């Protein structure tokens, strides 16, 4: 076979015969790497199953009528960690390929070792590691209290050898930690390169699709936050999970970015402890634990993450700037969203944010993408600017429009219920969010807001300085 050199973009898999500084397909810079591969003859190309691997190839598949009968029943196994089962859509599906990715040190190996314990009660699990020695893994397992007759460890980086060993052991689940350490001897590229990752992943996914083994691949994330390696990896697997969180804080969140067997809205929340990852069934309580009291710039909000309402605390700090251009910093909330809210407040309320540095933070290191936090962010910003504390039992939710109007968000009743459960007694909601049938818990005062002007009275000195 003839060897050929090409250049491949590590972000989007775009190929080019020569090196390019900027990828014409995805626009990223300096992402092209050299790859050597063997030119495949046209007849062999036909058998190349990379792209057809997503669906099992039956010999004589014919077009069928779309039918609701004979719906497939996914066989799922419980991993013993319900927060993880939740993001998977109700457990690990037999014959599925899952990609678990995250930054180094976030806790991927810890989580996978922990799920081995519960899975091994009914299944045989093979943990393939290319990163740690078997002794290191055993030490960690001991620390985490993970043991089981049916957990096997294999330190191997040759993907084909892994498969041939798995063929003898016949495990129900194979965990590959990590896909970047695996290599394929027939591929001429170096381990960790785009071609190698793709080749190795396809071997494991093929295994899942042919004999129903569930495969969990660990993927590293590069500094831009995307999975290091080809984007095609995300297309090849059934489920892509992202493990995120601030490494210095204990809070960890798993999000499904793609799931062929369930919703992608769910999140799983964990806390990293001395005994590994522990589930957080009630994230709001944890997020509100160290809440500052009676200080300006803080406002509680209620956002829906997956199916659950979660209460978070927004903190804003505005200080007169000493720089020619004021500083803006946002952690946990989209930077552009902050810019938009600041622009609305400056224009509609005449507050001079343009001569102030603004720092915004969501306590606990979580990230909020829902626009329902807008009004809370606006309240925190006004509160800090005027140095007036918001009452501690007040919470807001709702979207802010460019004219300063408060827009309705879905599931108002659930949000109110959760807020009341956690002790909030005054809840600011958009005017149109409530219907006549919306149930309001006893002792809760609902303040409806049509626009940003309606929330200003809540930020007057005489009302908040009641102590
Ligand atoms: P690890 O699972 O090795 O991360 P990854 O596989 O994603 O690279 O977890 C690494 C961090 O977790 C490590 O810095 C130590 C910490 N940790 C704990 O705090 N408690 C524990 O019980 C364990 C096992 C790890
Ligand atoms: Mg690891």
Could you tell me which residue, 43 or 35, shows the higher pLDDT?
A: 35
Q: How far is the CA of 111 from the centre of ligand 1 (A)?
A: 9
CB 177 within 8 A of CB 130: yes
Ligand 1 atom at minimum distance from 243 CA: 7
Q: How far is the CA of 266 from the centre of ligand 2 (A)?
A: 24
Taking residues 12-39, what's their average pLDDT? 82
Position 189 scores a pLDDT of 75
Q: What is the tens place of the pLDDT at every residue in 313-371? A: 999 999 999 999 999 999 999 999 999 999 999 999 999 999 999 999 998 778 888 99
Residue keyed to tokens 């004999």: 211
Ligand 1 proximity of 219 Cβ (cutoff 6 Å): no
Q: How far is the CA of 339 from the centre of ligand 1 (A)?
A: 36
Position 167 scores a pLDDT of 93
Question: Residues of the chain with pLDDT > 90: what percent?
Answer: 51
Position 230 scores a pLDDT of 64
Q: Which two tokens mark 134?
A: 């078997």
Backbone angles phi and psi of 321, in degrees to 5: -85, 150
Could you tell me which residue, 328 or 9, shows the higher pLDDT?
A: 328
Position 57 scores a pLDDT of 53
Could you tell me which residue, 461 or 28, shows the higher pLDDT?
A: 28
CB 399 within 8 A of CB 375: yes
- Residue 430 clears pLDDT 90, i.e. is over it: yes
Q: How far is the CA of 272 from the centre of ligand 1 (A)?
A: 8
Could you tell me which residue, 241 or 246, shows the higher pLDDT?
A: 241
Q: In whole angstroms, give the CA distance from residue 155 to residue 158.
A: 10
Residue keyed to tokens 């069934």: 281
Among all bound ligands, the one having the nearest atom to the CA of 130 is 2
Position 305 scores a pLDDT of 81
Position 224 scores a pLDDT of 63
Ligand 1 proximity of 104 Cβ (cutoff 6 Å): yes
Ligand 1 proximity of 275 Cβ (cutoff 6 Å): yes
Q: In whole angstroms, give the CA distance from residue 197 to residue 101.
A: 14
Instruction: Report which of 430, 372, 435, 434 is spatially closest to residue 405, judged by C-alpha positions.
Output: 430
Ligand 1 proximity of 102 Cβ (cutoff 6 Å): yes
Ligand 1 proximity of 426 Cβ (cutoff 6 Å): no
- Assign 307 a pLDDT band (cuts: 50, 70, 90): confident
- Residue 110 clears pLDDT 80, i.e. is over it: yes
The CA-based diameter of the chain, rounded to the nearest angstrom, is 83
Residue 82, Cβ neighbours under 10 Å: how many?
13
Handedness of CA 256, 261, 265, 269 (dihedral sign): negative
- Residue 27 clears pLDDT 90, i.e. is over it: no
Ligand 1 atom at minimum distance from 103 CA: 7
Q: What mean pLDDT, rounded, does the chain reach?
A: 86
Q: What is the tens place of the pLDDT at every residue in 261-306? A: 988 878 888 998 888 999 988 888 877 877 888 889 999 999 998 7
Among all bound ligands, the one having the nearest atom to the CA of 102 is 1
Q: Is the pTM of this model over 0.85?
A: no
CB 272 within 8 A of CB 280: no
Q: What is the 3-state secondary structure (H, E, C) of the chain?
A: CCEEEEEEECCCCCEECCCCCECCCCCCECCEEEEEEECCCHHHHHHCCCHHHHCCCCCCCCCCCCCCCCCCCCCEECCCCHHHHHHHCCCEECCCEEEEEECCCCCHHHHHHHHHHHHCCCCCEEEEECCCCHHHHHHHHHHHCCCCCCEEEEECCEHHHHHHHHHHHCCCEEEEECHHHCECCCCCCCCCCHHHHHHHHHHHHHHHHHHCCEEEEEEEECCCCCECCCCHHHHHCCEEEEEECCCCCCEEEEEEEEECCCCCCCEEEEEEECCEEEECCCHHHHHCCCCCCCCECEEEEEEEECCEEEEEEEEEEEEECCCCCCCEEEECECHHHHHHHHHHHHHHHCCCHHHEEEEEEECCCCCECCHHHHHHHHHHHHHHHHCCECCCCEEECCEECCCCEEECCCCHHHHHHHHHHCCCCEEEEEHHHCCCCCCCCCCCEEEEECEHHHHHHHHCHHHHCCC
Ligand 1 proximity of 105 Cβ (cutoff 6 Å): yes
Q: In whole angstroms, give the CA distance from residue 107 to residue 29.
A: 30
Q: What is the tens place of the pLDDT at every residue in 185-234? A: 887 777 777 888 888 999 999 999 998 899 999 998 876 656 666 677 88
Ligand 1 proximity of 274 Cβ (cutoff 6 Å): yes
CA atoms within 13 A on the CB side of 150: 17
- Of all protein residues, the one whose alpha carbon is nearest to atom 25 of ligand 1 is 276
Instruction: Report which of 156, 93, 154 is spatially closest to residue 119, judged by C-alpha positions.
Output: 93
Mean pLDDT lowest among 86-90, 204-208, 244-248, 382-386 = 244-248
Q: Which two tokens mark 298?
A: 């803080």
Q: How far is the CA of 105 from the centre of ligand 1 (A)?
A: 6
- Residue 63 clears pLDDT 90, i.e. is over it: no
Q: How far is the CA of 108 from the centre of ligand 2 (A)?
A: 6
Position 443 scores a pLDDT of 92
Ligand 1 proximity of 140 Cβ (cutoff 6 Å): yes
Ligand 1 proximity of 108 Cβ (cutoff 6 Å): yes
Taking residues 407-431, what's their average pLDDT? 93
Ligand 1 proximity of 429 Cβ (cutoff 6 Å): no
Q: How far is the CA of 125 from the centre of ligand 1 (A)?
A: 21
Q: How far is the CA of 107 from the centre of ligand 1 (A)?
A: 5
């Amino acid at each position: 076979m003839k060897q050929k050199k090409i250049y491949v973009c590590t972000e989007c898999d775009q190929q080019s015969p020569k090196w390019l500084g900027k990828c014409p397909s995805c626009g990223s810079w300096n992402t092209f790497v050299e790859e050597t591969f063997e030119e495949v003859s046209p007849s062999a190309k036909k058998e190349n199953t990379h792209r057809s691997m997503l669906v099992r190839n039956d010999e004589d598949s014919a077009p069928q009528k779309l039918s609701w009968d004979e719906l497939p029943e996914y066989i799922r196994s419980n991993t013993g960690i319900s927060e993880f089962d939740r993001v998977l859509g109700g457990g690990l599906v037999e014959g599925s390929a899952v990609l678990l990715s995250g930054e180094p040190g976030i806790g991927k190996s810890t989580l996978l070792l922990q799920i081995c314990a519960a899975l091994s009660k009914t299944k045989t699990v093979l943990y393939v590691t290319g990163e740690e020695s078997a002794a290191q893994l055993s030490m960690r397992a001991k620390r985490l209290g993970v043991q089981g007759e049916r957990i096997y460890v294999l330190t191997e980086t040759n993907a084909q050898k892994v498969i041939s060993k798995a063929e003898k052991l016949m495990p129900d689940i194979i965990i590959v930690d990590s896909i970047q350490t695996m290599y394929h001897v027939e591929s001429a590229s170096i381990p960790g390169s785009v071609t190698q990752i793709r080749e190795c992943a396809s071997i494991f996914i093929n295994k899942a699709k042919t004999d129903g083994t569930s495969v969990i691949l660990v993927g590293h994330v590069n500094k831009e936050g995307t999975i290091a390696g080809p984007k095609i990896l995300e297309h090849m697997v059934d489920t892509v999970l992202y493990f995120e969180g601030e490494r210095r804080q204990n809070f960890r969140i798993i999000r499904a970015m793609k799931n062929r067997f369930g919703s992608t809205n769910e999140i799983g929340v964990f806390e990293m402890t001395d005994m590994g990852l522990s589930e957080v069934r009630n994230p709001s309580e944890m997020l509100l634990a160290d809440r500052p009291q009676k200080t300006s710039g803080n406002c509680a909000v209620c956002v829906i993450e997956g199916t659950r309402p979660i209460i978070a605390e927004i903190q804003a700090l505005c200080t007169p700037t000493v720089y020619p251009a004021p500083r803006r910093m946002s952690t946990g909330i989209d930077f552009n969203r902050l810019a938009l809210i600041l622009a609305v407040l400056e224009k509609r309320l005449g507050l001079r944010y343009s001569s102030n540095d603004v720092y915004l933070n969501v306590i606990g290191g979580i990230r909020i993408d829902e626009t329902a936090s807008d009004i809370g962010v606006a309240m925190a910003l006004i509160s800090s600017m005027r140095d007036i504390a918001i009452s501690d039992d007040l919470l807001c939710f709702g979207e802010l429009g460019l004219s300063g109007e408060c827009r309705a968000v879905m599931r108002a009743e659930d949000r109110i219920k959760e807020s009341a459960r956690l002790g909030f007694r005054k809840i600011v909601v958009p005017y149109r969010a409530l219907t006549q049938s919306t149930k309001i818990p006893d002792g809760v005062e609902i303040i409806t807001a049509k626009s940003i002007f309606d929330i200003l009275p809540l930020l007057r000195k005489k009302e908040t300085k009641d102590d």
